[in-house]
Amino acid sequence: MSRNSVQTHYLGRDVVVVVGYDRPLNELGIVVPDSLLEAVYLNQLFHVGNVLVRHHVDQPPEVLLVG
């Protein structure tokens, strides 16, 4: 995974912003449910944040936190 950061200011406070990119997991032979990939895409599309969801291979995802 790549990791990039910048130290900046927000509302008068010092903050560090960290972003990264993971290559698709299929390069490692890891199987993930389609719901996980779809959720990441939709989070990006709709600017969703502060959500914690556990995805499963054989059952629907569990929403653990909506903030």
User: pLDDT for 28-63, tens place per residue?
Assistant: 788 889 999 899 999 999 999 999 999 999 999 999
Range of the domain at 29: 2-66
Answer for the pair 7, 14: CB distance below 8 angstroms, yes or no. yes
- pLDDT value at position 19? 87
Q: What is the pTM of this model?
A: 0.65
Measured over the CA atoms of residue 26, residue 32, residue 35 and residue 41, the dihedral's sign is negative
Domain count, the chain: 1
For 41, the token pair is 């895409």
What's the rounded mean pLDDT across residues 12-27?
85
